[in-house]
Amino acid sequence: MVREAWGDEGRGDPFDDALALANNVRGAAAADAPATRGGDSNPPTAGARTPASGDPTDPADSTTPEGHPTRSTPTARNPHPTPSTLPWHTARDIAERAVPGPPPPETSTLGEALGRTLAAPLTALTDLPSFDTSAMDGWAVSGPGPWRIDHPAGEAGAGPRPGILAGHAPTEALPDGHAIPIATGARIPSGATAVLRSEHGEVHELSDGGARLYAPRPAPPGQDIRPRGQECRRGDQLLPAGALVTPAVLGLAAAAGYDELTAYPRPRAEILVLGDELLQHGLPQEGRIRDALGPMLSPWLHALGVEAAAPRHLADDADTLYAALAESTADVVITTGGTASGPVDHVHPTLRRLGAEVLVDGVAVRPGHPMLLARLAPRRHLVGLPGNPLAAVSGLCTLAEPLLRTLAARPPVAPYRMPLAAPVHGHPQDTRLVPVAYRDDERYGLMAAPLHFHGPAMLRGIATADALAVVPPGGAERGAELELLELPWSAGWSAGWTPGSSTGWTAPGAPYAPTGGSA
């Protein structure tokens, strides 16, 4: 979705215009004369400061050291300006359209198709139910009562008389005035007109050894019979192409006769965690901190329908990063950290060394503005997430999610809006992504309550959030209807399950592998 107008730049395709801007092909004109942002009444101002509100966790309030200029121009102090950042919606649009579509579909077992997108409509291979079925335990009866109780052929004699069980195929027709015991799910014998529930019938033993069945109420024709084809006829379309294969879809497909499904493959992602300061175990110590992104990104990507290998931790070394990117065969490489211009921030120089095409280099969003997207090869991309953990989440939702959605052929999530339960400060030029939790308000119904602890380095807010609210430049008042990016867990994890974890149970001794296969 492109909602921004690109002013004088915007005469062509907005995607091409945005790409050209990101790659700075229009030179100084693109970098120096920032495009007009539709719906943004404040013209972008390099170095603009955010008014303080007193909330120490509010990045909109912290003008230094994190209130960086949105667009930089060459100055004596900053001789290497970054290309102009892109409006948030434009960046998402570029990411969504960076690939033309998913790779060709594959046929797999039902279990392996979980979380994928159907490449063809799901068409019923059989009527459902495939035969007239008893909906209750009781008796199949023919005509009005009372009825003489029969037993299936071969059941005569002593002992319990179960009648027709589920899975059996009755061969004999039921004559008028007769009844036969039947179980829920069993096939109705020909000649039967209704099913009488066991609790509604009274059996009277007869002197000849037989039995008669009485019902206090009549059993109208069709009572408690599920007729063949009630749910669908063979050839009916049950689901369109493009439907997400959820656990319920697997159940439906199996019921309708499928052993295999044709769906788009899961995109394969590789996660490279950069930063010599990161520990993988224990307490932070001596200036080193725990890696918060490795444990978070694999399952998050998994919930987006992606096959993510276990994260690799790379030393802060340009050659190591170069080798990892050059060798990777993943559809999408996700790096964390190293996007800025510090002494060990190697992502930009390595992309240049690889000759990668940078599609997005900075986004007008807080947190996370140094995020980037690059094309390593025609169908291989890199998403560079900033190292600050909430900034990384912002990059994941802004650039990785739309790109992976296109690769997985998942349908876009319908725009979702909710009124804010409290006002939120805005950045003067940039969009803010703010963690919110759903609250049921007595008067206004469901509202999005902004959460504290939403600083770029904090995960405490997002850990209790249901969604990220998209706060436009300038902020939003209580009651304003804001676009929400729902987090995977508030929509349920089901679509992200793979066969390995779909049972939620791991055999004793088997390693738990929540990310599924390898990339």
Ligand X SMILES: Nc1nc2c(c(=O)[nH]1)N[C@H]1C(S)=C(S)[C@@H](COP(=O)(O)OP(=O)(O)OC[C@H]3O[C@@H](n4cnc5c(N)ncnc54)[C@H](O)[C@@H]3O)O[C@H]1N2
Q: Which residues bind ligand X (CB under 6 A)?
A: 66, 68, 273, 275, 277-278, 289, 291-293, 336-342, 345, 369-370, 386-389, 391, 456
- Tell me the C-alpha distance between 91 and 383, whole Å: 12
Residue from 70, 72, 90, 388 in contact with ligand MOO (CB under 6 A): 388
If the CB atoms of residues 263 and 314 are measured against ligand X, the closer one turns out to be: 314
Candidates 104-112, 216-224, 364-372, 405-413; binding stretch for ligand MOO (CB under 6 A) = 364-372
Q: Which two tokens stand for residue 37?
A: 């942002």
Choosing among ligand X, ligand MOO, none, which partner's interface includes residue 61 (Cβ < 5 to 8 Å by kind)? none
Q: Which of 189, 367, 426, 475 binds ligand MOO (CB under 6 A)?
A: 367
Quote the tokens at residue 307: 């096959």
Q: Which partner, ligand X, ligand MOO, none, binds residue 338 by CB below 5 to 8 Å per kind? A: ligand X
291 phi/psi in degrees, rounded to 5: -70, 115
How far apart are alpha carbons 340 and 266 in whole angstroms? 31
71 touches ligand MOO (CB under 6 A): no
218: number of Cβ within 10 Å: 11
What are 484's strand-pairing partners?
469
Residue 181 vs 370, nearer CB to ligand MOO: 370
* Nearest approach, Cβ of residue 409 and ligand X (Å): 30
User: Applying CB under 6 A, which of residues 368, 384, 426, 472 lies at the interface with ligand MOO?
Assistant: 368
Pairing assessment for the beta strands 481-486 and 467-471 based on DSSP bridges = antiparallel
273 touches, from ligand X, ligand MOO, none (C-beta below 5 to 8 Å by class)? ligand X
Nearer to ligand MOO, 256 or 470 (CB): 470
CB of 59: closest distance to ligand MOO in angstroms?
7
Q: How many CB atoms lie within 10 A of CB 100?
A: 8
Which positions ≥6 away from 505 have C-beta within 8 Å?
A: none
Name the amino acid, one letter, at 499.
Answer: P
Question: CB 339 → ligand MOO: shortest distance, Å?
Answer: 8
Q: Report helix, strand or coil for 296.
A: helix
CA angle 84/90/95 to nearest 5° reads 100
The amino acid at 507: A
Torsions phi, psi for 299 (to 5 deg) = -65, -30
- DSSP H/E element including 300: helix 294-303
Site track 313-352 with ligand MOO (rule: CB under 6 A), x = hit: ----------------------------------------
**Of 66, 236, 483, 486, the one binding ligand MOO by CB under 6 A:** 66
Task: Quote the CA–CA distance of 176 and 173 in Å, as a whole number.
Answer: 9
210 contact choice in ligand X, ligand MOO, none (CB below 5 to 8 Å, kind-dependent): none
For residue 69, give the 3-state DSSP assignment. Answer: coil
Give the span between the Cα atoms of 295 and 316, in whole angstroms.
19
69 lies in the binding site for ligand MOO (CB under 6 A): no
> Least distance (Å) from ligand MOO to the CB of residue 391?
3
CB nearer to ligand MOO: pick between 367 and 516: 367
Tally the residues of the chain. Answer: 519
Which lies closer to ligand X via its Cβ, residue 250 or residue 365?
365
Decide: is 391 part of the binding site for ligand MOO (CB under 6 A). yes
Angle between the 14-23 and 88-96 helix axes, to the nearest 10 degrees?
100
Q: Both tokens of residue 83? A: 């290309």
The entry of ligand X, ligand MOO, none near residue 280 (CB within 5 to 8 angstroms by kind) is: none
Give 272's Cβ-side CA count (13 Å radius). 28
Residue type, 510: A
223 binds, among ligand MOO, ligand X, none (CB under 5 to 8 A by kind): none
Q: Kindly tell me which of 384 and 456 has the beta carbon lying closer to ligand MOO.
A: 456
SS in 3 state form for 353-400?
Answer: HHCCEEEEECEEEECCCCCEEEEEECCEEEEEECCCHHHHHHHHHHHH
The binding track of 223-252 with respect to ligand MOO, each residue x by CB under 6 A or -, is ------------------------------
Query: Nearest approach, Cβ of 459 to ligand MOO (angstroms)?
Result: 12
Ranked by CB distance to ligand MOO, the top (closest) residue is 456
Can you tell me whether residue 182 is helix, strand or coil?
strand
* Cα 477 to Cα 453: distance, rounded to the nearest angstrom: 20
Report the nearest approach of ligand MOO to the CB of residue 61 (Å): 13
Query: Least separation, in Å, of the C-beta of 354 and ligand X?
Result: 18
369 binds ligand MOO (CB under 6 A): yes
Tell me whether residue 2 or residue 365 sits nearer to ligand MOO (CB atom): 365
Residue 81 or 111: the one with the smaller Cβ distance to ligand MOO is: 81
Helix (H) or strand (E) holding 335: strand 332-336
Q: Which residue has the tokens 């170095």?
A: 47
What residue number has its CB nearest to ligand X? 387
Q: Which positions lie near ligand MOO, rule CB under 6 A? A: 66, 366-370, 386, 388, 391, 456
